Amino acid sequence: MKTTIAIVDDHELMAKALSGLVQKYEDYEVIYEANNGKELLNRIKLKMVPDVVLLDISMPEMDGFETALWLKNNYPEVKVLALSMNDKEESIVGMLRNGARGYLLKGCKPFELKQALDAIVQKGFYYTEFVTGQLIKSLNPETLQNPQDALRLNEREKEFIKWACSDLTYADIAEKMCVSPRTVDGYRESVFQKMNVKSRQTLAMEAVRLKLN
């Protein structure tokens, strides 16, 4: 049985070209083309559910991000392959987080599209080296810069962390830093938010882990 494909792209010429290309692949069949995510949803609600969706990102009336997330939440068995001209890190990571199983640039070679479809059907995902690099860069920023740069702490916040890891009270810290207790409260709120902690004890533990103290 052939794997069924739906193509979602607001550029009709591109959609037709993709459809013609995929139809040449022996194991695949394009069952319909849609101009946007909303049109795809309407087809799916009519029980026209494809195995794989070739999904553009920039579209009117429900873009690729919204569409991928809707499919992830409602039809997780439908595999999404994003196909876009956009090579920005935030777009790639956003689509993958919203459930896309792969991401291809529209400038790819025809054989790459076939590779991607085969991989998604057989393995469940397809990541090119470029996409993998962007994903790793996004998910592991600490490997690319030191912790202080990643947290974007200013000098006064770093000083506050040093004193907060001691036995001093917040009033004592205010005195050490020559500021008012209210200013120290501001440093505390800012540091807690940047370090994603909710207590002084956790702050101290994170400071040790990140070598901030």
Distance CA 27, CA 166 (A): 66
pLDDT of residue 61: 83
pLDDT reported for residue 107: 84
3-state secondary structure of 172: helix
Q: How far is CA 31 from the centre of its chain?
A: 29
Question: What pLDDT shows up at residue 80?
Answer: 96
Indicate left, alpha or beta for 195 from its phi (over 0: left) and psi (-120 to 50: alpha). alpha
pLDDT of residue 87: 83
pLDDT digit string, tens, across residues 143-176: 445 556 667 888 899 999 999 999 999 999 999 9
- The residues that bridge with 161 in the sheet, in sequence order, are none
Predicted confidence at residue 144, as pLDDT, reads 46
Other Cβ atoms within 10 Å of 102 Cβ, number: 24
- Measuring CA to CA, which residue among 133, 136, 57 is closest to residue 95? 57
Digits of tens for pLDDT over the chain (213 positions)? 899 999 999 999 999 999 999 999 999 999 999 999 999 999 999 999 999 999 999 988 899 999 999 999 999 999 999 998 888 878 888 898 899 999 998 888 889 999 999 999 999 988 777 776 666 566 555 444 555 666 788 889 999 999 999 999 999 999 999 999 999 999 999 999 888 888 888 888 888 877 776
pLDDT of 147 reads 56
- Sheet of strand 3-8, all strands in order from the earlier edge strand to the far edge: 28-34, 3-8, 52-55, 79-84, 102-105
What residue ranges define each of the domains in the chain, with the CATH number in brackets?
3-139 (3.40.50.2300), 147-209 (1.10.10.10)
CA distance 131 to 161: 37
pLDDT of residue 7: 97
Query: 126-129 — which CB contacts under 8 Å span 24+ positions?
Result: 126/81, 126/101, 126/102, 127/102, 127/103, 128/103, 128/104
- Output the pLDDT for position 208: 82
153 CB-side CA count, 13 A = 25
Residue 123 near residue 116, CB atoms below 8 Å? no
